Amino acid sequence: MLAAGLGAAAILPVAAACASGDSGGSPFRSPHVTDQPSARNVKDFGAVGDGKADDTDAFAAAANVGDTPLVLYVPSGQYSLKRFPALSDYATVLGDGADVTLINYDGDDTFISLQRKQRVRFSRLGFYFSGAKATAVRLSNCFRCTFDSVVLRGNHLSENAPKFVEQRGLVLDQNTGGTTVINSDINNFGYGIVTSCIQNYVTASKLTNNHIGVLGTGGDHNAGLALANVEFVSDNDPRTTDRHVVVDGPANDWWLTNVWFEGADTALSIGGPGGGPAQFGLVNCKVAARKVCLDLIHCRQPYLANVQFDPDLDAPPIEIRVDPKGAAEGTAINLISGSFDDVDPKSFPDGWHVIGRGAIHGARFAGTTVAQATQPDADILQVQDRDGTVLAAVLNSGAYLSDRSEGGIVMKDSAGGYWRLSVGTDGAVKTSSLGKQRPHS
């Protein structure tokens, strides 16, 4: 039904485009290719684009330029292909828009496979994959390739799960680098993006209704990705999306900036028992989930800043779950909660540096530490209990003040014994032995 719906929607713009031609019957040419006389129009090589004819051979003929850089123009229409043609370095494949230039593939193989290619660009195209094990695009040992205003759509839905969970959208492997996905959509796959490579980029794009949105895999300290201004969304059916971002083992750097998450049991699962990223950054993001917003299992250097955690359903999720062994140290700054006043500082291991609204948890200082009063009568430092009662302070003059009569000062003697110094109502100072075990209060 989905395929039929897409087909019906796609045929209408084709008819409109044909009807808009001039009276002499000149073929429509996109304004994006009119200044590129070398562009090869697949319809000039026999492509029909009616959603029924097999246009595989026509695409292959149009793309057959040897090692010459190719500009392949695919005008509006719906094209059925059994395989995508081989492309040369620096090739550009250009359509009239991702919703009007549609390419369908119903097989189970990898549809677009590029190996050792440089700067291949896809723009203004839509692809639909109905084979249960299809891979849309695989880039192996390729560099500086681009997907601009492209839609990759699989067939994974809650109603048919798990039939299509093996479908993959974009696969990056064998040291592929510099790939950019911009203003594009990757929807309805078992795995939206699978990467075992570093230094690739996703920006101004959206991943919708994928079982796993992005998988960083390999376990060889290599996989990494930078995502900026990206949306990960899904419906409320747990069969649709399990996790949006998964890094399954030792990996490289993962940086997420201005990213929105909603519609998954677990939004982000970072690292595994055997290791995780060297760095993981989550900055200016909103993270909602049904069960766990951020599951930080293993990471050498996690950094979280200006993140809001929200529930997807009425019951609040676990906002942050940190494995104290796998992510013993990290930094969290200005995290807020949609379910509570603040993210509980106890969510973080003691080695973390946590800065919240008016509070710092787990701070460590190296070198000379300076505390300075800003008001004439203000304390320089205060020690408070949980309800805010002042227990001790350093006054503006530098004097130490204990506000508990039973508090005082504890000192250790040369033999290892502890003594408390306190004062009576008569002003006399006295000492009390506390034994050799270090006191906690």
Highest mean pLDDT among 64-78, 101-115, 388-402, 410-424: 101-115
Separation of alpha carbons 156 and 188, rounded Å: 5
Question: Does one domain contain both 236 and 285?
Answer: yes
Q: In this structure, are 186 and 302 located in the same domain?
A: yes
Q: Are residues 245 and 188 in the same domain?
A: yes
Q: Hey, what long-range contacts does 35-44 have (CB within 8 A, 24 or more apart)?
A: 36/71, 38/71, 39/71, 39/72, 39/73, 39/94, 40/65, 40/70, 40/71, 40/72, 40/73, 41/73, 41/75, 42/72, 42/73, 42/74, 42/75, 42/79, 43/75, 43/77
pLDDT for res 102: 98
Residue 369 lies in a domain: no
Name the domain boundary from 308, 331, 361.
361
Burial of 225 (0-12, 13-18, 19+ CB in 10 A): buried
Please report, for the domain that includes residue 33, its CATH number.
Answer: 2.160.20.10
Strand order in the sheet with 390-394: 381-384, 390-394, 400-402
* 84 and 226 fall within a common domain: yes
Token pair of 259, please?
């990213």
Mean predicted confidence (pLDDT) in 19-40: 52
Return the pLDDT at 138. Answer: 98
Residues 8, 100 share a domain: yes
pLDDT of residue 32: 53
Q: Is residue 315 pLDDT above 90, yes or no? A: no
Confidence band of 37 (pLDDT split at 50, 70, 90): low
Are residues 426 and 294 both part of a single domain?
no
- 347 lies in the same domain as 407: no
pLDDT: is 417 or 227 the higher one? 227
Q: Are 98 and 191 found together in one domain?
A: yes
What is the band of 24 on the pLDDT scale with cuts at 50, 70, 90? very low
The mean pLDDT value for 31-40 works out to: 62
pLDDT single digits (tens) 118-151: 999 999 999 999 999 999 999 999 999 999 999 9
What is the mean predicted confidence (pLDDT) over 397-422? 85
Range 92-101 average pLDDT: 97
Which helix (DSSP H) or strand (DSSP E) does residue 94 occupy?
strand 92-95
90 or 366, which is more confident: 90
How high is the pLDDT of residue 219?
95
Q: How many structural domains are present in the chain?
A: 2
For the chain, percent of residues with pLDDT exceeding 90: 67
How far is CA 236 from each of CA 242, 291, 310, 314, rounded to the nearest angstrom? 11, 12, 14, 12
User: Is the residue at 124 inside a domain?
Assistant: yes
Place of tokens 């959208």: 169
For residue 34, pLDDT over 60 is answered with: no
Residue 367 belongs to a domain: no
Query: What is the distance between the alpha carbons of residues 227 and 222, in angstroms, rounded to a whole number?
Result: 17
Quote the pLDDT of residue 11. 36
Residue 419: domain span: 381-435
pLDDT digits (tens, 9 = 90+) for 316-340: 999 999 999 999 999 999 999 987 7
Q: Which of 361, 390, 410 is the last residue of a domain?
A: 361
Same domain, 203 and 277: yes
Does one domain contain both 191 and 121? Answer: yes
Cβ 240 vs Cβ 263: under 8 Å: yes
Asked if the structure places residue 44 within a domain, the reply is yes
Given 330, 361, 392, which residue is the final one in a domain? 361
> 49 falls in which pLDDT band (50, 70, 90)?
very high
- What percent of the chain is predicted at pLDDT more than 70? 91
In the predicted structure, residue 255 carries a pLDDT above the cut 50:
yes
pLDDT in tens, 198-247: 999 999 999 999 999 999 999 999 999 999 999 999 999 999 999 999 99
**Domain assignment of residue 374, yes or no:** no
Do 427 and 341 lie in a common domain?
no
Q: What sign does the CA torsion over 278, 283, 285, 288 have?
A: positive
25 found inside a domain: yes
Q: Residue 371 falls within a domain, yes or no?
A: no
Q: What is residue 14's predicted lDDT score, i.e. its pLDDT?
A: 36
Most confident of 140-154, 348-362, 396-410, 421-435: 140-154
Pair (419, 306) in one structural domain: no
Q: Domain for residue 194, yes or no? A: yes
| 3-class SS shares of the chain: helix, strand, coil, % to 5 | 5, 45, 45
